[in-house]
Chains A and B, each alone.
Chain A
Amino acid sequence: MAHDHDHHDHDHHHEGSELSDVALRVRALETVLTQKGLVDPAALDMIVDTYETKVGPRNGARVVARAWIDPAFKARLLEDGAKAIGELGYGGRGGEHIAVVENTSAVHNMVVCTLCSCYPWPVLGLPPVWYKSAPYRSRAVIDPRGVLKDFGVTLSDDVEIRVWDSTSEMRYLVLPMRPGGTEDWDEEKLADLVTRDSMIGVSQPLAPGART
């Protein structure tokens, strides 16, 4: 359905549409690469749909909840994160190599990508805006305790904070501590306590009773 837009005098009483510079550049890329057979527009739609609706932190929450109730799974998870996560059916791009780091009463782990925004997509989806921001990327390294405070987490001074720098080759997922008072909870109920931020290491899981 091509039109010759060079001869549109009859349309001058209409107001033309305007696309932003970035929208135009994206269209140009897609047009050129599609014509070269390098991009399949249908595949692009599927990718967007996947990340908008199918992949997100609920996947990671299931991994964490499983680790809380299944010590053998937890051992495998800490040994080879990506492989154990694959047992639950999660994996693929952005999750080729995932290391899982465990919070204990002595150690709190926190994840950042100082370079850009490397993030374990299959278990957390795409990163929030703040994760991609320069203040977080720099402060997480310089002043992790201050960052945690900003997120409402105060750790006692004797808790060691370890900051992990995600890269394209190794992405990190925090295994938070299981909240007390959940001893008889099943996996599904436990997963509801696991927030995205707790798996980045900037907050704690919800307390029992915080969600009904």
Chain B
Amino acid sequence: MNPPDLSILPGIPRAAEGPLFREPWEAQAFAMAVHLRDRGLFSWKEWAQAIGAEISAAQQRGDPDLGDTYYLHWLSALEKLVVAKGAASARALVETRDAWDRAARATPHGRPIELCVEVKPS
């Protein structure tokens, strides 16, 4: 067997250490998965499988997967697992996302964004 051609593998992105979370949503998404695991909604094993599958799927779609998209995969895995476990419906997540979007657009810069009363996801 020929040795693998290592030159085709891109370099490891290790330049900047940066902050733990680059944006607040990354921290929130991280904490939610940890919290739900703590509360027993799923196990570490289920979590590792979910995020592993998400990462593979992203790579198939052409994500170079350099670690900077990691929390995107984290969030997608979390959404799927939450729905699979029956903790929330996919529809409620989409509707609530859209409600937050409307709330944001209706809120002037610098003011806290609050969700409107119309939203009562079930």
Contact = CB atoms under 8 A, between A and B. Distances in A.
A132 B9 contact: no
A29 B88 contact: yes
Interface in B51-65: 51-52, 55, 59, 64-65
Contact of B52 (A36, A116, A128, A147): A116
A80 to B, nearest CB: 19
A16 interface: yes
A116 B51 contact: yes
Nearest to A7: B106
B108 A39 contact: no
B9 A36 contact: no
Interface residues of A, number: 68
B17 A39 contact: no
23 contacts: A2-B115, A2-B117, A4-B116, A11-B108, A15-B109, A17-B108, A20-B25, A22-B29, A27-B96, A28-B96, A30-B28, A31-B100, A31-B119, A36-B88, A48-B30, A129-B14, A129-B16, A129-B68, A131-B67, A135-B13, A150-B11, A150-B12, A168-B45
Contacts of B30: 47-48, 51, 126
Contacts of B17: 128
B66 A29 contact: no
A43 interface: yes
B13 A44 contact: no
Contacts of A48: 21, 27-28, 30-31
Contacts of A1: 114
Given A31-B121, A130-B13, A17 B109 contact: yes
